[in-house]
């Protein structure tokens, strides 16, 4: 792994790990979870042809192993270390002998495919660009606003693992499931002074909030709506999410990467763009309220729009997230009774 920078009050280290990218490549191809990006697989298969029978067979076996451990013991953690040579040592400790053997076999089968798409040069360039962006003055202000809205956090350093994807340059995504003080950023080529650079930073902040404040947000949700009541609610979403997961995601989206704080500090004007497409989002929202399955990835933009004035008011008035804020989100989800 290579380290690319330290910033501000809180330190961010941007790292590149080949095994992390290799694992991400195979795991995404297996489509073991709804969060796997089918868009990436389309590009990867278009570039290197359809799966062979052997590849199909071992992807199924690999998928079963990932489903066994799921996010409770997410296996991506094994391949997200500063020292790449340690990755397989950690894997040997967690996996049983057959699973470890399968992992070695799967990586060997897909190595040729992976080598064709592996491009560390772009990731090194991205790391330098992202480092520069995360040194911007606004980053200190963001930390101050997060403290106002969500309170103190104990995280002083975060490792960002860059994962190279094959889709459009503007498409960015992230994850906060590889352990404490670590997150992933999925990117293609970042170019200086393009909106995608700001969006990359905004995605990092979104995932940072998950890392630093997820437990606090969930604790507040549990205080307001009982766990028993939460289990009784089945939201009509294509991507199955519990009420707590959906609520947390909406609250964090109200800030970044397209919410109030992104709009306050960055130049790509996400709120203006959301308003331009509001009719489309409103249509999806109305279907959702009627109990029809909705795409959360689209629906969330309507929630950002609705929560923008309230989030702005809270932060400007130096007010921390509270019961009233969460009950407002619940109201938009169509939930009035919390007991």
pLDDT band per the 50, 70, 90 thresholds, residue 54: very high
Q: Using one digit for the tens of pLDDT, what is the confidence trace for 115-166?
A: 999 999 999 999 999 999 998 889 999 999 999 999 998 898 999 999 999 9
Task: Extract the tokens encoding 223.
Answer: 């205080």
Give the per-residue pLDDT at 72: 67
**Long-range pairs of 137-141 with CB within 8 A, sequence gap ≥ 24:** 138/265, 138/266, 139/7, 139/8, 139/201, 140/8, 140/9, 141/265
Asked if the model's pLDDT at residue 336 lies above 90, the reply is no
pLDDT > 90: what percent of the chain? 78
Pairwise CA distance, residues 304 & 327, whole Å: 15
Mean pLDDT of 213-219: 95
Mean pLDDT of 17-38: 94
Give the per-residue pLDDT at 311: 98
Going from the C-alpha of 62 to that of each of 30, 33, 98, 164, the distances in angstroms are 7, 12, 11, 21
pLDDT > 70: what percent of the chain? 96
Q: For the chain, what is the mean pLDDT?
A: 92
Asked if the model's pLDDT at residue 8 lies above 50, the reply is no
132-136, 164-168, 184-188, 250-254: which has the minimum mean pLDDT? Answer: 132-136
Residues in CB range of 94: below 8 A, 6 or more apart: 73, 75, 78
pTM score > 0.85 for this model?
Answer: yes
The more confident residue out of 85 and 324 is 324
Give the per-residue pLDDT at 42: 96
């Amino acid at each position: 792994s290579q380290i690319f920078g330290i910033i501000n009050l809180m330190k961010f280290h941007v790292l590149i790990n080949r095994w992390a990218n290799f694992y991400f490549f195979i795991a995404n191809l297996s489509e073991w979870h709804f969060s796997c990006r089918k868009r990436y697989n389309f590009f990867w298969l278009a570039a290197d042809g359809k799966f062979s029978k052997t590849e199909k067979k071992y992807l199924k076996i690999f998928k079963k192993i990932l489903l066994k451990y799921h996010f409770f013991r997410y296996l991506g953690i094994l391949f997200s270390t500063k020292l790449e040579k340690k990755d397989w040592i950690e894997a040997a400790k967690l996996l049983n002998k057959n699973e470890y053997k399968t992992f070695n076999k799967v990586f060997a089968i897909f190595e040729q495919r992976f080598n064709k798409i592996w491009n560390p040069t772009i990731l090194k360039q991205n790391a330098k660009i992202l480092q520069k962006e995360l040194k911007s003055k606004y980053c200190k202000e963001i930390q101050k606003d997060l403290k106002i809205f969500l309170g103190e956090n104990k995280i002083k350093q975060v490792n960002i693992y860059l994962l190279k994807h094959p889709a459009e340059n503007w498409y960015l995504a992230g994850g906060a499931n590889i352990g404490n003080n670590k997150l992933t950023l999925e990117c293609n080529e970042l170019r200086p002074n393009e909106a995608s650079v700001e969006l990359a930073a905004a995605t990092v902040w979104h995932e940072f909030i998950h890392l630093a404040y997820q437990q606090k947000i969930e604790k507040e949700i549990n205080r307001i709506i009982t766990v028993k009541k939460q289990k009784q609610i089945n939201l009509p979403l294509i991507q199955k999410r519990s009420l707590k997961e959906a609520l947390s995601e909406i609250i964090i989206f109200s800030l970044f990467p397209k919410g109030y704080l992104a709009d306050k500090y960055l130049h790509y004007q996400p709120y203006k763009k959301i308003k331009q497409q509001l009719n489309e989002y409103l249509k999806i929202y109305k279907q959702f309220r009627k109990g029809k399955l909705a795409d959360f990835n689209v629906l969330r933009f309507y929630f950002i729009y609705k929560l923008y004035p309230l989030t702005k008011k809270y932060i400007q008035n130096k007010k921390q997230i509270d019961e009233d804020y969460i009950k407002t989100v619940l109201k938009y989800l169509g939930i009035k009774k919390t007991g």
